[in-house]
Amino acid sequence: MKDSPKTPFFQWMLRECFRYPRIAWSTVACLFILTLFPGVILCLTQALGTTAEQLLARSPAMVIRKIGPLGWQPIPTEYVDALGQIPGVNRVEPRIWGLAHAEYNTFTLIGFGPSAQTLKEAQIAIGAGNSTEQLDSLEFKTVPDESFKVVPTPEGLHMWPGTALVNEFDARRILQLPLGYVSDIALYFFHPQEAAYVDEEIRALFPFDVQLETSQDYAKRYNSSLFKWGGLGLLLGMPMLLAAFFFFIGQRHYLNLESRNIGIMKLMGWRVKDLLWLQAGRALLLGIPSVSLGIATSYFMVYGPGSRILIRIFMGWSEPTPDFRFALGLTTIFQLVFLIFIPYLIAYLLPMYRAASRDPGEILEKQN
Amino acid sequence: MKPIGIELKHLSFAYGNSPNVLDGISLELEFGSSYLIRGNTGSGKSTLLQIFCAMKRPTEGDCLLGGQPVSRWTAPHRDRWRGNMGFAPQDPLLLPHLTVAENIMLPLITQNLTQPEIDTVVREAIEELDLLHLATQRISQCSGGEAQRVSLARAIAKQPTYLFLDEPSSHQDDVHLSQLLSFLDRKKGTKTIQVVTSHDPRLQSSCHFDMQLELSAGQLEVL
Amino acid sequence: MILHPLSLCILLLEAAALFLLLQSLPALIQGHLKWDPGSASVLQLRLEPRIEIAFFRNQLGFGLFAMAYLMWIIGVSNVYSQSIPGAMCGLGVIEALSRDALPLVILKSLCLLIYFLFFCVRLETGKYPLGTYHKKTMALLLLLLPISMVSFWQTFQALTSIDASQSVHCCAALITQTPSLAGEIHIPFEPWHAKILAVLALALVALCHLGVIRNSNAQIVLIPIWLFSSHYWLKHQILPYVYGVLEHPCFWCAFRPQYYSQGFIYLGAYLIIIGLAIRIWIATKFPEHRPKNNRGLKVCFWVTVFVYELTALTPACLWKLQSGQWIQ
């Protein structure tokens, strides 16, 4: 390295980079902050989307609901066997669930599944949340004379805040769901993508209107609103464009002051491409570490201990949130690089090219 | 017959609509030689030198450097050509935030030399022109004469094909002038050409130059 | 979809490229009308640095536009389908773009092509010290301006026209709905016919590179022939091995991660081969063309062809090794 002809240029570049340390360090700090803000928004968007995808991967491929004039209605269970005959369907699960109003809380009441069957009559398990920590028993408005004893969550089951689990018998009473009817029917497919292609066949089975919702559609709707939120967040808090503009103005001003020096360097045999490399080297030496640190810090804030605070700030969720599973998300990194780093590089290079492409004679005459 | 380094063909130059400063000059300067161009203040010596450096473009005629009309080229090509050139203008044109050694090193950074080679060249120039005691000082702490010697060292050190010095002796005493002329002698080669402009009688009476020319009334005459 | 961060990136990059082009417009117009290389007139002395800056700005603009193009391909192939119901690959996204799709694709590709032409011509004309051919470079940029403006507007409209609440049909439905030309008029054109045509075209290109065929314009005709026939062969003979099905000629599905995003390699190879062919061809158009200088480009060209063929044949070979037979 010491004997390479590139070494003197590289050493010169390093020296020029830190000749004015205050400017260099403030550039690093600015770029770090500029990367951090949109980085947190984009990482959070990506984390929410990925986590939702992973959660939805375990959900049924399709859910069938009966639609009536007033909205959803209970759906009869007599069609369950016919649904099981459809090619590609692995499992059919009639589900009992709905909103149940207690005195001070509203719960999403679930009354199906193997964990529900472990609960006895008048027993209820609730998802831990800020408003439900101290409850020993619950009374629901639909069954006012009965009290349901709060029991620990069945082993191996994680319950989100706002959910409650009872056995099927209690669920039917609370939700006022008669025998032979369920809230909706969930279908599990061998290949989940096939769910989108059997809707005609399924509708033909029912003599009434049904709404068919696939997990893919649900995920896409969620992603769409999430990306809208992320994009809005970027637009509203878009300091980086402004910052690129200020960098540009600052660089132009700095290079105007430096134009005499640039003219002298050109007279001494420096070409435009040498000056551009010098400027690019400065930009990269300052920019790459600060942008990388900004991106890394964004990831840490979203996936590390700070994520709960961010959710409260940005989404307004007050209840405990799921842990995000780490996903690198190359698209997020590309977006950050293109939104921050590229404008920053251009803000460095364009003014230098402008300054460097002037004739040295012209520059020096103007100085005189 | 030595190869032609610089050829002037009916060269004329005027600033704006003013009368010609240089008027139809035709001359050939050879490689391996050094030339002194004399003339009064305002005769156009610096202008001629700037045309040689491709900093100005002749309004008529041509200035061919190595057979090429360099001053008519576009900027990127002129910049590339300047790698062959060493120039010390009347005003030293040094970078004030750099040290003496860094200023001398400046033209060598882009010449594809290794750091040890650059250090050798810079050390030689500093020693030849009595700048050793100033090597790590910033230019702002140097006197006018010292700054001029730094500018000369910078131009001569890289052993350029074309060396142009404008009034190199203006702030130099006899000792330093003689050091400069010895350094120029050592750097003279068969593939280099040196052109110095000055109205200093000490240079006119020195025997370093192969030919002396007088510039007056826009015409260049061989003395 | 306009508020998707990726869409914002694409629009920002394209807008920046367009802005750089617009900023150069006064210098380009003046230069194109009044360029007088080597002249010492005040106008020429002022024009020269302005034109150099204009060229540099638009070289940057080319880089920005190319990045926007790449982001757009990534968006269409992998990102937007996550938000559009029914869209499983880029074809569904294109369907969601509705009537804006085809003009948009043509305009963006044309824009990229002209930017690339400008870049190649600039590399060649920059070798002439007097700037003798700078007017050609300026003319290309002036030609680019209206196309670039329309392309940006179309991109903006297309991104705003995607309605994430509307379901679209994707490749499984669309490809069966669209009859192939060969099927409609009963041309017995098999994929291996296309492969033979592609090989013949490449052989002729090789003869051009070796100097046996001296007409430099032949490449410009042969490369599109190679491109279309090779792509037809890829879709109908190779992609079944990639997807593991008998017939599914959807090129966009090849960009999906579950198929190792091979689509990017194929598309990248097409773009590199076209780019190198154009670069080699343009270099022959200037009087001081030195064939030796193109040797590196020709080597890159053939290496890219080799990588493309290898990537295309690998799934078929792996299938044969694993199952012991070809797909029939």
Amino acid letter, B65: L
Q: Locate the domains of chain C by residue range.
A: 5-161, 175-323
In chain B, which residues have their Cβ closer than 8 Å to the Cβ of A360? 55
Q: Give, for B96, the enclosing helix (H) or strand (E).
A: none
Nearest-CB residue to A331 (from C12, C74, C84): C74
**What does the pLDDT look like over B96-129, one tens digit per residue?**
889 999 999 999 999 889 999 999 999 999 999 9
**pLDDT > 90: percent of chain C:** 44
Residue with tokens 């926007």: C68
A66 and A154 inside one domain: yes
Question: Per-residue pLDDT for A161 more than 60?
Answer: yes
Kindly list the residues from chain B whose CB atom is less than 8 angstroms away from the CB atom of residue A261: 95
- CA nearest B93 in A: which residue? A264
Quick: pLDDT tens for C138-148.
999 999 999 99
DSSP per-residue letters across A236-268? HT-HHHHHHHHHHHHHHHHHHHTHHHHHHHHHT
The verdict on A90 and A203 lying in the same domain is: yes
In a shared domain, residues A189 and A249? no
**Are the Cβ atoms of C60 and A350 closer than 8 angstroms?**
yes
In the structure encoding, which two tokens stand for residue A27, read together?
């550039």
Q: Where are the alpha helices (DSSP H) in A65-194?
A: 80-84, 114-117, 168-175
> CB-CB: which of A5, A265, A361 is closest to B106?
A265
Residue range C161-165: mean pLDDT, rounded: 76
Contact B99, B157 (CB under 8 A): no
Chosen domain end from A214, A235, A267: A214
A2-16, A75-89, B47-61: range with lowest mean pLDDT: A2-16
Residues in chain C with CB shorter than 8 Å from the CB of B72 are 37-38, 40, 130
Query: What per-residue confidence (pLDDT) applies to A144?
Result: 82
In 3-state terms, what secondary structure has residue C83?
coil
- Kindly list the residues from chain C whose CB atom is less than 8 angstroms away from the CB atom of residue A231: 2-5, 7-8
Q: Which of C40, C129, C131 lies closest to B59 in CB terms? A: C40
Supply the pLDDT for residue B162: 94
- A89-95 and A184-189: which strand pairing? antiparallel
Would you call B72 and C45 a contact, using CB atoms and an 8 Å cutoff? no
The pTM (predicted TM-score) of the whole model is 0.84
Q: Are residues A99 and A171 in the same domain?
A: yes
Of A3, A5, A268, the CB nearest to B112: A5
Is residue A187 domain-shared with residue A226, that is, in the same domain?
no
Q: How far is CA A305 from CA A47, A230, A321, B82, in A?
A: 14, 21, 12, 59
Measured between beta carbons, which residues in chain C are less than 8 angstroms from residue B79? none
Residues A65, A141, single domain; the answer is yes
Last residue of a domain, one of A214, A244, A261: A214
Identify which of B80, B118, B158 has the shortest CB distance to residue A8.
Answer: B118
Does A64 share its domain with A209? yes
- How many CB atoms within 10 Å of residue B97? 15
Q: How far apart are CA A283 and CA A275, in angstroms?
A: 12
Ranges A154-163, B23-32, B152-161, C49-58: which has the least confidence: A154-163
Per 3-state DSSP, chain C is made up of helix, strand and coil in percentages (nearest 5) of 75, 0, 25
Whether A142 is covered by a domain: the verdict is yes
Domain boundary among A214, A233, A248: A214
Decide if A1 is inside a domain.
no
Contact (CB<8Å) C3/A228 = yes
Residue A266 and residue B116: Cβ atoms within 8 Å? no
Among A15, A35, A27, CA closest to A348: A27
Instruction: Indicate whether A127 pLDDT > 90.
Output: no
Helices A342-356 and C42-74 pack at an angle, to 10 degrees, of 170
Specify the residue for token string 């209107």.
Answer: A209
**Candidate from B58, B69, B75 with C-beta closest to C48:** B75
A179 and A74 part of one domain: yes
Of C6, C11, C13, nearest to C79 (Cα)? C6
Query: What residues in C contact A331, CB-CB < 8 Å?
Result: 6, 74, 78-79
pLDDT on residue B36: 94
Question: What φ, ψ does residue C241 adopt, rounded to 5°?
Answer: -70, -30
A241 and A148 both lie in a single domain: no
Query: Is residue B5's pLDDT more than 80?
Result: yes
Residues A151 and A249 both lie in one domain? no
* B15-73 residue pLDDT tens: 888 888 999 999 999 999 999 999 888 888 989 999 999 989 999 999 999 999 999 99
Q: Which residues of A touch B91 (CB under 8 A)?
A: 368
**Burial profile C63-101: b = 16 or more Cβ within 10 angstroms, e = fewer:** bbbbbbbbbbbbbbbbbbbbbbbbbbbbbbbbbbbeebb
**Residue of chain B whose Cα is closest to the Cα of C39:** B72
Q: For residue C199, what pLDDT is reported?
A: 92
Same domain, A176 and A299: no
Q: What is the pLDDT of residues A188-198, one digit of tens each?
A: 988 777 777 78
> Do the domain assignments include residue A146?
yes
Whole domain around residue A234: which residue ranges?
A: 6-55+220-367
Q: Does B18 touch chain C (CB under 8 A)?
A: no
**Cα separation, B197 vs B47, whole angstroms:** 11
Q: Which residue of C has its CA nearest to B71?
A: C38
Same domain, A238 and A344: yes
Domain total in chain A: 2
Cβ contact B68–C129 (<8 Å): yes
Which tokens hold the place of A329? 């998300």
